[in-house]
Structure 1
Amino acid sequence: MKAVFQFLQWPVICGLLAAIIILDHFPSLFGIDNHNNQSQQITAPAMSQGPYSYSQAVMSAAPAVVNIYTSKLVKEQLPPQFSDPFFRYFLQRNNIRQKERVQRSLGSGVIISPEGYLLTNHHVINEADEILVLLQDGREALATAIGSDPESDLAVLKINLDDLESIPVGDPASAMVGDVVLAIGNPYGFGQTVTQGIISATGRYGLKLSTYENFIQTDAAINPGNSGGALVDAQGNLLGINTAIYSKTGGSQGIGLAIPSDLALRIMSDLVQYGKVIRGWLGIEVQAIPAALAQANQLQGNNGVVVTGTYPNGPADQSGLISGDIITRINNQPVGDGHAGMNFIAATRPGESVAIEIIRQGQKMKIDTAVGTRPEAEN
């Protein structure tokens, strides 16, 4: 028996080794598909991985983002006693002049067209005597202020240089909370800097930063000097003009605000074509509808505003709107608490007709009116 075992020992071992080799190299003979299994093991982790770099987006957008340096001559404030006529006479008699100094500030801008038109913030270039623009490629040029709009905090500049790269423009209306965004600008004068974050919210308003507010909120780091720079999507398309931060320290605390690019481009077009922004106007004063009144009129989500007054002979007054009317929709778009309706009318060209849906004494009505031109703000 022992002799038989010894005789069979090596053939059995060799057979097992042969079977292992055949299974490893020819699995299809036994109905096993190692190729698919290996493919699944390799591709499954790869599918769960996100983009590892946004360098292509930066390469697309960054050449169109500029650094802006401004300077203006300001007179130093005299002590209060020098407002007295005697002291002023003394100053004039002795030819003592009020001291002057150059005040400098910095910001960012975005090249919108190859012709050299730039968007930036009104507060970046306000009252500047000289505006210097520095491009990513090292070139620089003095800029001319084409127009400025304090009510949206936007301004348009023009530089005269060849071979300018303009930024590709995205669609902020399709941007969603959670989308990855990049902020490109000149924080603290460091030079062009890119930071990354997500869209934290859209349609932010009521912050009293400007008259017309519809901000994109982001947690991408935005600091002093970023104002006027670009907020772009993960492909490098312009979504907004970085405008402000909420901060108790002066630095980034994860709440940055940008003006949507579609609004910015419309304002830019007006400033270039007319030298001012043309906004529609109805000539009404409204307030958000109280909850009790909304419930009584079966309005969902407190959608609606109550007319509290009309401008004499203004578009609303001429169309028959009266105090107490509840406006619910304009051109079939909900007015919300009034903010959406105000922006819609402001974006409507004067002379265009809009359909206003109202509730008057419990009865639904529709009034058509032609939008007027918003009067110039009094100084």
Structure 2
Amino acid sequence: LRSFLDDPFGEFAPRYRRRVEQSLGSGVILDPSGQIVTNHHVIDRAAAIRVQLADGRSAQADIIGRDPDTDLAVLKIDLPNLPSIRLGRSDALNVGDVVLAIGNPIGLAQTVTQGIVSATGRDQLGIATFENFIQTDAPINPGNSGGALVNTRGELIGVNTAIIAKSLGVEGIGFAIPVNLVRGVVNEIVTRGKVLRGWIGIGTETIDEARARSAGFDGPIVRITRIAGGSPAQRAGLLPGDVIIELDGKAPRDSREVQLRIADTSPGQTMSVEVQRGNQRGETKIRVEEAPQMLRPR
């Protein structure tokens, strides 16, 4: 009775409470010191991260660093006697190889599913800025993100990252980040706290063989589609429509290779770019700069 008299509308007034959302994902312990790799989108915007191990132990995790452009992040936990996974080689994979996906789908911890490698080198999926995915038909579901894709020897060959939604009318298509890419990104994050990438400020597209031949080329070509204002490419005189003939003396196979080779060039280094404009070819030297952070909310 007293509480009602003190605040006659107390029982009827809305009570506001802070809403706390929880989400689940997976991760892979890389070494006994407690380094864990997972997807950036799993931990993005997290106020706190708690890791639950297969043996029942749990610990708070610190973020060592993250790389939204590849959708990877590195965490650290402090627990003794941690198991860790052996790293394999994703460049040794062949289509048809048997793989196992391990993760935490819809909260079902330590779920293992089996499939095969359906394809390698998948890109242009809109998942990350730099894409070079392993495609697999091993069932991957929400909660699997950040989990291990392993070969039949139990070696890590990829980090599961995405599925194609059933609403699109397809099933059995999942994607993993290849371990060769994971290894490089993790090393950069652990060493520097971030990933340094080269940038010259160009957008590119691959022109297929049929269209390229109609323009007088022998096979597929890579064409510049846009130039960032104030970029090294603009200062070097490159223009949209230029066809890239060679990068550092080597002809690129497609647009993805152009972007990856530029990104893999250390900032401060000089890159030789040969282009064709109309019927004329020319070569220019471009000083590579550090890429601006390209956050992708995935």
Q: TM-score category by the smaller chain?
A: 0.7 to 0.9
Amino acid at match of 1:303: I
Distance 1:113 1:308, change over 3 A: same
Partners of 2:212 and 2:221 within 8 A in 1: no
**Which is helix-richer, 1 or 2?**
1
Residue aligning to 1:225: 143
Partners of 2:68 and 2:250 lie apart in 1 by: 27
Cα distance per residue 1:42-87 (max 9 Å; x no partner): xxxxxxxxxxxxxxxxxxxxxxxxxxxxxxxxxxxxxxxxxxxxxx
Q: Does 1:161 align with 2:79?
A: yes
Residue aligning to 1:243: 161
Q: Does 1:327 align with 2:238?
A: no
Normalising by structure 1, what TM-score? 0.68
Q: Does 1:213 align with 2:131?
A: yes
Amino acid at match of 1:244: A
Query: What is the aligned counterpart of 1:296 among 215, 225, 249?
Result: 215
Distance 1:308 1:189, change over 3 A: closer
Residue aligning to 2:4: none
Partners of 1:292 and 1:197 lie apart in 2 by: 37
C-alpha deviation, 1:271, in angstroms: 2.4
Partners of 1:147 and 1:272 within 8 A in 2: yes
Partners of 2:114 and 2:148 lie apart in 1 by: 12
Residue aligning to 1:273: 191
Amino acid at match of 2:55: D
Amino acid at match of 1:297: G
Query: What is the aligned counterpart of 2:103 among 173, 185, 188?
Result: 185
C-alpha deviation, 1:378, in angstroms: 8.5
Partners of 1:105 and 1:251 lie apart in 2 by: 26
Partners of 2:250 and 2:187 lie apart in 1 by: 25
Query: What is the aligned counterpart of 2:202 among 275, 284, 297?
Result: 284
Partners of 2:69 and 2:295 within 8 A in 1: no
Please identify, of 172-181 and 302-311, the stretch whose mean Cα deviation from structure 2 is larger.
302-311
SS at structure 1 position matched to 2:166: coil
Cα distance per residue 1:312-366 (max 9 Å; x no partner): 2x32234343343210332355434412211221122212233323223323443
Partners of 2:114 and 2:138 within 8 A in 1: yes
Residue aligning to 1:100: 18
Partners of 1:148 and 1:95 lie apart in 2 by: 43
Partners of 2:170 and 2:229 lie apart in 1 by: 43
Normalising by structure 2, what TM-score? 0.85
Larger radius of gyration: 1
Distance 1:252 1:261, change over 3 A: farther
C-alpha deviation, 1:251, in angstroms: 12
Residue aligning to 2:174: 256
SS at structure 2 position matched to 1:304: strand
SS at structure 2 position matched to 1:266: helix
Matches within 5 A, 1:79-228: 98-228=16-146
Partners of 2:99 and 2:114 within 8 A in 1: yes
Residue aligning to 1:349: 266
Cα distance per residue 1:125-178 (max 9 Å; x no partner): 122222111222322211111222222211111001122222111111221111
Distance 1:217 1:101, change over 3 A: same
Please identify, of 107-116 and 281-290, the stretch whose mean Cα deviation from structure 2 is larger.
281-290
Amino acid at match of 2:289: G
Partners of 1:270 and 1:251 lie apart in 2 by: 38
C-alpha deviation, 1:373, in angstroms: 0.9
Distance 1:351 1:235, change over 3 A: same
C-alpha deviation, 1:95, in angstroms: 9.3
Aligned residues: 284
Partners of 1:303 and 1:251 lie apart in 2 by: 33
Question: Among the aligned pairs, what percent are the same residue?
Answer: 47
Residue aligning to 1:84: none
Partners of 1:305 and 1:337 within 8 A in 2: no
